[in-house]
A and B are shown apart, each in its own frame.
Chain A
Amino acid sequence: MQFPGLAKPPVGIVFDSTMGRIDDVLALAMLHGFDGKDQARIAAICVSSADLQAAQFCDAVGRFYASATTGPAAMFMHFMPIGLADSKPAAESPMLSKAVYPNSIKSINDTADPATLIRNELMAQYDQNAAVVLSGPATDLAKLLDTFGAKEWVARKVRLLCVADAGIQADTAAAEKVFAEWPTPIVTVGREIGEALPFPGDSIEKDFAYASAHPVADAYRAYRPMPYDAPSWALAAMLYAVHPNDGYFKLSGSGNRRELIFDPDQKDRIIKTYIEMASAKPVARKPRHPVDEKKDEKKDDKKEEEKKKDPAQ
């Protein structure tokens, strides 16, 4: 959610993935890191396979990062639902097999239809101040394009669709539709990028150790036998979507369909940013509904007037 009257908010990110690979999990953590540092805002998180545990995991991660928020802000904190596809069931992932972290999802009715959720959340973004990160099949986005009126909202609100190539072939029809009809520029992240920029596995025991129980670190450990470095397709897509103009990557070609190009000179900087954002500590959030400044101004004016009348105050 973005609000007028405050400073222009950072880009709102819609993240749609299967949450079936560890780079999806790390990209989700990165997004929370960006959000905590006010470099991006989470607009919507969706799971593009019918995997309830993946949705539970996303919800649990959200609650983990919200845990630093206490007091009145916590009372007014509002957890947006997780989008969950109801189409193709996903293979069970070892990293998500135990929903040991607190979450609010018991059944599919505790999740939202991704297309509806994305449409609704885009409506709350400033024009051209949202980006969509896709890692996995484009099923949800194809459905979004078919939702009445949603294509217009996408064209109005979204400035970029960033697609991690890995996994998109799981639904070729949806991919073809999205590449043909999506109304904004599209940037794709090739397989070679993710492999050239591995997330270092030793960061897990070091940088995530601030929490005795960390859902992202636990997922990393469960995904494959440690130690291992993880390809970073989804992380690269997330980083570019949030900071397209900060020189992390170059782009090939021109027009509305372009590809990320890996710049070896940026490797250390990119991996450092991966680690910094994915392992960022939870930050206390402000209330979702900000204080009405005008009301406060009026109250302040009243107080000033009262003070003038009664200087003893």
Chain B
Amino acid sequence: MITKKALPRRTFLRGMGTAVALPFLDAMVPALAAATTSKPPVRMAFVYVPNGIIMDGWNPDYEGKLGELPRILKPLEPYRQDITLFGNLTHNTGRALLDGAGDHGRCCASYLTGVQPRKTVIDIKAGVSFDQIVANQVGKTTRFPSLELGMEDARQAGDCDSGYSCAYTNNLAWKSETQPLPPVLDPRALFERLFGNGMALTPAARARENLYRRSILDFVSDDTRKLETGLGPTDRRKLDEYLSSIREIERQIEKAEKDNAQIDPHMEKPYGVPADFAEHFKLMSDMMTVAFQSDLTRVITFLVTHEGTSRPYREIDIPDGHHPLTHHRNQPDLIEKVTQINSYHVRQFAAWIAKMRTIREGDGSLLDNCMIVYGAGLSDGNRHLHEDLPTLIAGRGGSHFKTGRRIVYRKETPMCNLYLAMMDRMGVHVEHFGDSTGRLEALDLT
């Protein structure tokens, strides 16, 4: 079995016969290999939806054990034992704080950075987002330190909200305080980034290519081993050097395989950006699943649509723009439409969660080893409120979180306190982040 860490090449060469005989996925997926010897890694993802949520349809009227869920969260009800719902988390740095209008720009830019972004369309400045702090540490062991995905307009220049650059509304992850990481929007581009440009279009064709590549390696190593017997010390040393060089070639080939095509996503290569929202979301979430499953990355941010978007939702018979609808002025018909959009988003998310639950890993599921945050940078989009942000986590963060609960914290509790707690689960320990005042409590089983 090939793993990046143990790399038992000698065993492989001597005892495993031909490479063709190896079960392809188990041999080539380090995360699954690791599962047999140690705990699977913990991964985290952020799924961000814009323009706030109709909170009456989000917040249950109870705390503690999750039972019947409100209308917007209804699609998650079958999986309520896998989620934790939070109350009263706040992003103070998303508020005006003397900078006037521009809540959409601020709430998105501060969401993972925990700092107040500079109000500008030119010399942008926010902060290093916490996903990138994690990626800098745990990302060294994966092919991609992090992945940034989205589904809508990733414009980086211009004024997108009252003097705030589009870089603020259209990015979640920030590598430095002046460098956002734009999301990949096109499923095909994401596919090629994950699995290689030259990858064949169908899973069957890809399997044939890999079998062929591995059988050549076995042929070389078997021939070399036959030369070992009957050689003197000098020749033996020469043979050792030769074997070492072969091993080095093997390693390079293995790495190239891993980098290019070793992980089979078991899906057709997408042809572009689907017009249908649900189809687009499914493609992106399918690839996020594979990326986690095969340990290509442990950190993903997914900006579903950008903050302040006026995207219509004709898929569900809502031709009006999302953002204008959220300024509903308490008109019931507009509130109903926003609720339908909120529900529609959660439905797509729930389908992803359902899939993640079915993938076995270690003693549980892939979802168990993840922390997938679903949330928004505004609660009430009509009034642009930055408190009681709609926030839930799907997954147990490596069987640590006590899920199936709604935990309500005190008002003004910094969202960054949650981030500190999540960083701990990711094995990244920092004392402060953004405007944190401590670690969020009452999350764990213990």
Contact = CB atoms under 8 A, between A and B. Distances in A.
Which one of B101, B431, B432 has the highest number of Cβ atoms from chain A below 10 Å of its Cβ?
B101
Interface in B393-426: 408-414
Given A109-B88, A116-B413, A147 B437 contact: yes
B98 A109 contact: no
A53 interface: no
A295 B411 contact: no
A4 B97 CA distance: 9
B412 A116 contact: yes
B100 A295 contact: no
Nearest to B412: A112
Contact of A109 (B97, B100, B411): B411
Contacts of B99: 4
Given A78-B383, A113-B412, A3 B329 contact: no
A289 interface: yes
Which one of B92, B162, B409, B436 has the highest number of Cβ atoms from chain A below 10 Å of its Cβ?
B92
B98 A148 contact: no
B412 A117 contact: yes
B52 interface: no
A5 B100 CA distance: 8
A109 B96 contact: no
A125 B383 CA distance: 20
Chain B: number of interface residues, binned into ranges:
20 to 34
A interface, over-half SS: loop
A116 B437 contact: yes
Contacts of B414: 116
B322 interface: no
A109 B411 CA distance: 6
Interface string A129-160: 00000000000000000011100000000000
Contacts of A120: 90, 92, 412, 435
A148 B432 contact: yes
Contacts of B432: 148-149
B162 A75 contact: no
A126 interface: yes
A219 B399 CA distance: 52
A125 B98 CA distance: 7
A62 interface: no
B162 A292 contact: yes
Interface string A111-130: 11101110110011110000
A289 B384 contact: yes
A210 interface: no
A126 B95 CA distance: 14
Interface in B229-284: none
B437 A148 contact: yes
B413 A113 contact: yes
Contacts of A76: 383
A81 B101 CA distance: 22
Contacts of A232: none
Contacts of A147: 437
B436 A111 contact: no
B87 interface: yes
A109 B162 contact: no
A108 interface: yes
A1 B386 CA distance: 14
B413 to A, nearest CB: 7
A76 B436 CA distance: 28
A126 B100 CA distance: 13
B160 interface: no
Contact of B412 (A5, A81, A148, A294): A81
Given A3-B98, A148-B432, A109 B385 contact: no
A109 B412 contact: no
A4 B442 CA distance: 39
A113 B417 CA distance: 13
Contacts of A112: 410-412
Nearest to B103: A289
Contacts of A295: 101, 162
A75 B329 CA distance: 8
Contacts of A192: none
Interface in B356-414: 383-385, 408-414
B330 interface: yes
A2 interface: yes
Interface in B52-100: 87-88, 90, 92, 95-100
Contact of B410 (A72, A75, A113, A294): A113
A11 B100 CA distance: 18
A115 B383 CA distance: 25
B381 to A, nearest CB: 13
B411 A111 contact: yes
Contacts of B409: 109
Interface in A1-22: 1-5
B246 to A, nearest CB: 55
A301 interface: no
B96 A113 contact: no
Interface of B: 87-88, 90, 92, 95-101, 162-163, 329-330, 383-385, 408-414, 431-432, 435-437
Given A113-B413, A124-B96, 19 more contacts: A1-B95, A1-B96, A5-B100, A75-B330, A78-B383, A81-B411, A109-B87, A109-B88, A109-B409, A110-B411, A112-B410, A116-B414, A124-B97, A126-B98, A148-B432, A148-B436, A149-B432, A295-B101, A295-B162
Query: Can you list the 10 inter-chain pairs with the closest CB atoms, starting with the nearest?
Result: A81-B411, A112-B412, A112-B411, A292-B101, A120-B92, A109-B408, A116-B412, A148-B432, A124-B97, A123-B97
